[in-house]
Amino acid sequence: MLSIIEQIKQGQLWDFPGGIHPPENKKISNKTPITHAGIPDELVLPLKQHIGTKGDILVAVGDKVLKGQPLTKGGMSMSVPVHAPTSGVITAIEPRTTAHPSGLTDLCIVIQTDGNDTWGSQHKIPDYQEKESGELIDAIRFSGIAGLGGAGFPTGRKIQGSLGLAEILIINAAECEPYITADDRLMRDYAEDVIEGIRILRHILKPKMTIIGIEDNKPEAIKALEQCVTPDDNILIRVIPTKYPSGSSKQLVKILTGREVPTQSRSSAVGVIVQNVGTAFAVKRAIIDGEPLLERVVTLTGEAIKKRGNVFALLGTPISYLLDKYSYKADKKYPRVIIGGSLMGFTLPHPNVPITKITNCILAPKRRELPLYNHEMACIRCSACAEVCPSSLLPQQLQWYAKDEDFDKCEEYNLFDCIECGACAYVCPSEIPLVSYYRQAKAEIYARREEAANAERAKQRFEAKQARFERDKAAREERFKKAADTRRQEMADKGGDDAVAAAIARVKAKQAAATQETDKKPAVAAAIARAKAKQAEAAKAATTDAVPDNSEMAKLREERKRQARERKAAKMAEDAQSASVDATNTPQSSASGDEKKDAVAAAIARAKARKAAQQAQTDSSLDDDEPASEAASTPADAAQSDDPKKAAVAAAIARAKARKAAQQAQADSSLDDAEPASEAASTPADAAQSDDPKKAAVAAAIARAKARKAAQQAQADSSLDDDEPVSDAAQSDDPKKAAVAAAIARAKARKAAQQAQADSSLDDAEPVSEAPSTPADVVQSDDPKKAAVAAAIARAKARKAAKEAQEKNEEK
């Protein structure tokens, strides 16, 4: 059986499943040679233009840079640097919109170009055949070269990972996607440079065979390459049928070698390494010319662009600059600018997006040229997508799982074998954007894997930290133990004792002594136990009986009150004795010297007496529940009233006047008392609890005397005031009404006087049953408590009367 290499040399080709034949639309852009787009005023360079990690920034805002100067430094094998495409000044390092399907921003370095295009240092290796593979790989990596076919995999990392494993080197020149002609024109115009780059790759990898796979729709490029290849190069140009997506790495390996790349693996797993034509050209310029990757060939195509063709565009060139320079005229209804081809490309949110290392085409179609499919409908299960899938997947199932975010099922159905060629979406009659669902699912899975990897790394770092702490702790304890053993040995050799051990022994002895001393205090422990028992009993009693027994505390409180009352009575007796002494010592001339003052005092006393009588009348009227019409107690007075309403009004007016006068009189009389009722005793309870019968009897007698005096004075004043309402009635225009009013007023006055006398007699009678009526009898009383109660009741009534009079005065 012939080997794979022999079969290839005999011209055998294989095929892959699926595939489509869309309109190529290549002739509108491959007729003119490649031109240079020029230097724009501003370049925007994303830090990440490849698969892998970003590099560390080496410049700052305001720095002047030269052409070819590195702007970032790749610290890992999956990171490649970014260089300055031309000379200028760094004006900003900030997020800008990048060429990505998400339309999100990324950190970019902005260069304000100076137009001089001044080169920096260059490192050329013209005699690369004398150099080792490792040195050439480093030169490729430091030149910032990544796969220019669209994937953007770091070339240096790809070559290094295939050393000693690659039997076959395949140069991908198929360029199968419609509209794109960048590789076609590059092979036509720079065939010698492309072949030289392939020779450098052959020198590094040393494969058994090198194959250039190119579709049969590029006859000019095929002819140009054949003219540059020599028999010594051992390079085989293999023309393959035009079929999309034959330019995919896995599909091209299948066509040229018949080998299938395993799931989620690269072509190096089957002994094959694939490099793009543009990548070979960039390797040649990096090794021989000493030029890092600063520019690339970009296809400008679509009916909306008037000057269509291929240009060398500096990395970081805004797409808007290219559109303006090559006469872009947007479609009036659906203006679109697409990066990439019509099948694998994506629409940009705006044209201010920079050219990157993986940008191979800018497509600006018109509405009729490339219809806008945006009316997604339900899947009709026609299986057309599965028939054209070049990876033998089930696009319908993957779309369902991606839409439901069932990412485990997506991986189970080999989502990552999808090359996102867009063939399934191209043939879908329901216009379902299947590739968009796949891209979104892949991005989510990548993000989750990254989070899981970060968590695992954090876990490993934490475990390593804990292990280090344990090791340090064990080592520290070992050192301490070793030092203690050494110290003990030294003390033993010197015949002394270990000071540390002795100190520890002393501390333990002190602790033991303290424990024994505590044990020697049983009395304290017993007291604590008794206290706890009492607390428990009190708590139990509190739960069973809501009212605690405070009899002992009450006895103590009563004893303190009794002592306070005795001290207060003694003080009052001393004050009274001193006042009597002062009265006897006052000269008589001083008392009789001022007759005017005596007259004024008498007048004030008479006025107060009248007011007291009026107050008594008011109280009598307030206590009377009968209406005003019933105030006239005599039949003669009632008979004289012709109009009961007017009589009632007149009676109300009379009652109000009497009430006001009585309140004023009572307030004044309470102010004139030499000894207020409140001073007789603090509270009725205090009087009742007094143990001195003489003092209690005296207080009761004084209170009764004051009550009788007030009643007699009120009665006398009421008799004096009887003429006043009569005179008022005489002055009335209506004699009947005046007579009624006078009768009512006289009746109220009499009733008030009777009520006052009755109150006075009641006050005298109440303590009779409980205490003697005279001070002498009180002194002879055998029950001091009854006398004290009587005195307290009398004082309380006096205070209540004074308080009510004061409140009525305040209301007026």
Condensed to tens digits (0 to 9), the pLDDT of residues 283-305 reads 999 999 999 999 999 999 999 99
How would you class 494 by CB atoms within 10 Å of its CB: exposed for 0-12, middle for 13-18, buried for 19 or more? exposed
Q: Structure tokens of 77?
A: 């094998």
Residue 657's pLDDT is what?
A: 72
- For 520, which DSSP code? T
The pLDDT tens digits of the residues spanning 339-377 come to: 988 898 889 988 999 999 999 999 999 988 888 777 889
d(CA 349, CA 685): 97
Alpha-carbon torsion, ordered 796, 797, 803, 804, to 10 deg: 150
pTM score of the predicted model = 0.60
Give the helix ranges, DSSP H, for 673-734: 684-688, 693-720, 723-730
Which residues are annotated as part of the binding site for [4Fe-4S] cluster? 379, 382, 385, 389, 418, 421, 424, 428
**Sequence-distant contacts of 411-414: CB under 8 A, at least 24 apart:** 411/445, 414/263, 414/264
What is the CB-side half-sphere exposure of residue 469 using CA atoms within 13 A?
6
Q: Is 172 helix (H, G, I), strand (E, B) or coil?
A: strand
Low-confidence ranges of the chain (pLDDT < 50): 546, 583-584, 586-593, 620-642, 670-691, 718-733, 760-782
Contacts of residue 450, Cβ cutoff 8 Å, sequence gap at least 6: none
Q: Which residue has the tokens 């140069």?
A: 171
Helix axes 693-720 and 735-770, enclosed angle (nearest 10): 170
Residue 192's pLDDT is what?
A: 94
Phi–psi pair at 550, nearest 5 degrees = -115, 35
Q: Which residues pair with 328 in a beta bridge?
A: 305
Q: Which residues pair with 57 in a beta bridge?
A: 72
d(CA 679, CA 682): 7
What is the CB-side half-sphere exposure of residue 68 using CA atoms within 13 A?
15
H or E, element range at 570: helix 551-585
Contact, 172 vs 335, CB < 8 A?
A: no
Residue 727's pLDDT is what?
A: 39
Contact, 144 vs 285, CB < 8 A?
A: no
Phi–psi pair at 12, nearest 5 degrees = -75, 140
Q: Could you give the angle at the alpha carbon of 276 between the alpha carbons of 272 and 278, nearest 5°?
A: 155
DSSP 290-304: ---S-EEEEEEESTT
b/e per residue, 27-56, with b = 16+ CB within 10 A?
ebbbeeebeebebbebbbbbbbbbebebbe
- For 547, which DSSP code? S
d(CA 428, CA 430): 5
d(CA 614, CA 336): 109
Which residues are annotated as part of the binding site? 379, 382, 385, 389, 418, 421, 424, 428
Contact, 704 vs 698, CB < 8 A?
A: no
Closest CA to 218 of 169, 250, 182, 245: 182
Contacts of residue 55, Cβ cutoff 8 Å, sequence gap at least 6: 47, 72, 73, 74, 75, 79, 80, 81, 82
Q: Structure tokens of 98?
A: 């990048």
Closest CA to 785 of 776, 797, 793: 793
Q: Structure tokens of 753?
A: 């006087």
Q: What is the 3-state secondary structure (H, E, C) of 434-457?
A: HHHHHHHHHHHHHHHHHHHHHHHH
How would you class 625 by CB atoms within 10 Å of its CB: exposed for 0-12, middle for 13-18, buried for 19 or more? exposed
Residue 252's pLDDT is what?
A: 94
Q: Is 272 helix (H, G, I), strand (E, B) or coil?
A: strand
Q: Is 204 helix (H, G, I), strand (E, B) or coil?
A: helix
Closest CA to 56 of 70, 68, 72: 72
Q: In what order do the strands lie in the sheet with 361-363?
A: 35-36, 309-314, 295-301, 361-363, 338-339, 346-347
Residue 488's pLDDT is what?
A: 80
Amino acid found at 414: N
User: Phi-psi region for residue 117, left (φ > 0), alpha (ψ -120 to 50) or beta?
Assistant: left
d(CA 519, CA 515): 6
